[in-house]
A and B are shown apart, each in its own frame.
Chain A
Amino acid sequence: DAGVIQSPRHEVTEMGQEVTLRCKPISGHDYLFWYRQTMMRGLELLIYFNNNVPIDDSGMPEDRFSAKMPNASFSTLKIQPSEPRDSAVYFCASSPHWVLRGGNTGELFFGEGSRLTVL
């Protein structure tokens, strides 16, 4: 398996532009998570999906952020309009099970991340 695939790996854009980050989870995983990592705030959970349905988006910073999961193999995180304070590494992660079930650890498999710089 190729693991969680994210694109783009790097994005440099100007303030006010729309940014779309993409994620392909590991096939068969029920859960998909979007995290943001910065030096100041560490790893923050933005939103997660279970079977393509958004479950908790309380971590989404504001209305400029939106996430979708149209099918089991694809998710997007969109920022519109982008601002310099959105500069961070955005990680997508998937998990086969989140709640401990039959000994499954519910571990997260992270993608390599998308490094976003907003000028």
Chain B
Amino acid sequence: AQKVTQAQTEISVVEKEDVTLDCVYETRDTTYYLFWYKQPPSGELVFLIRRNSFDEQNEISGRYSWNFQKSTSSFNFTITASQVVDSAVYFCALSEITGNQFYFGTGTSLTVIP
């Protein structure tokens, strides 16, 4: 069973629009960790944020914000006032405390049109 689902395959927005990338996860662990990674066109994978399952506070970092809701098993990522440099593939990932593996979603490709 897929543990991390990113239903949005591709999204296009016009510069300065807000955009939300969805991430839904599945786990039986009560303690787990969620991550977002960015993969720009240059290809490297860049760590953006992690969240513990017992900390449901939303987080804001500049134009980026993350909304974690255990009730809906979601960890969504919002970019406010998008910029061309935000164009990338974004991956959501889950790490369970009982295992050694990371589970990645299939990624959402975001294109910001100038």
Chains A and B are bound partners:
no
